Amino acid sequence: MADSKRRPTSRRALYHQLRRMVLTLELAPGAAISENELAATLGVSRTPVRESLIMLAQDGLVQIFPKIGSFVSRVDPAQVADAQFLREAVELAALDDLPDELDAGVVTELRENLEHQRGPGLELEEFFALDEAFHQGLLRLSGHANAWTTVAAAKGHLDRARRLGLYEHASSAEFAAQHAEIFEAVLSGDTERARGAMRTHLRAVFSDIERIRAHSPQLFATDSTAVPVRRSVAVWE
């Protein structure tokens, strides 16, 4: 009877909501997942939660172990590297494909975006959204805006590593400055400088991972075949 009173929800919408909770670290890497608790918190029945977790497992963001439980996947450095490889290839190629005459409207949007990035007191998720929009804007300048969909679908582990890196830094000012350097090079037509700045900017996540892993190794996967051990509760070793 209780389930009949729960508000209806689109399974696809629930999947995207849970995916967002994983990517924003609201559901932390390695955390055990209770279908009952999630269903109660979100006001839905267990069935769509279970179906959404299966979809997230297909994305590599959740691991489901029969008779043990479900867990948020720990950040996998190998998957971060693969997503970074794809992202770098796409974004550097886009810089090579910029037209001589840049779209004035997109240029204005990017200027405004950079101004917001420099604003005081930005929350992490606010900056992350501006960061995403900035990189999307550069792809739009090159005429390859649709490529972002493919990149975004592949970078779940990368996005979590990037957020962990943002938490690690005292502020987002360093990243905003890197964006500004890339943009200035684009406007001046200096493609080589833009490519170099972009490459340095995108690869910063690797040093962040090593620094964070030194003090919080439990957030990162070390063995893709590892299975939690069931004691009184299921735990990672």
What are the C-alpha distances in Å from 63 to residues 15, 48, 116, 195? 15, 17, 37, 37
CATH value of 3-74+221-235 in 3.30.420.40, 3.40.50.150, 1.10.10.10, 3.40.50.12160: 1.10.10.10
Check residue 232 and give its pLDDT: 47
Check residue 210 and give its pLDDT: 95
Domain ranges for the chain? 3-74+221-235, 77-215
Tokens in use for 168? 């690690």
CATH 1.10.3720.10 fits 77-215, yes or no: no
Tokens in use for 118? 């420099």
Check residue 237 and give its pLDDT: 55
Check residue 236 and give its pLDDT: 54
Domains 3-74+221-235 and 77-215 agree in fold: no
Check residue 234 and give its pLDDT: 53
Check residue 230 and give its pLDDT: 56
Residues of the chain short of pLDDT 70, as ranges, are 1-9, 224-225, 229-237
Phi-psi region of 169 (alpha: psi -120 to 50; beta: other; left: phi over 0): beta
Check residue 9 and give its pLDDT: 56
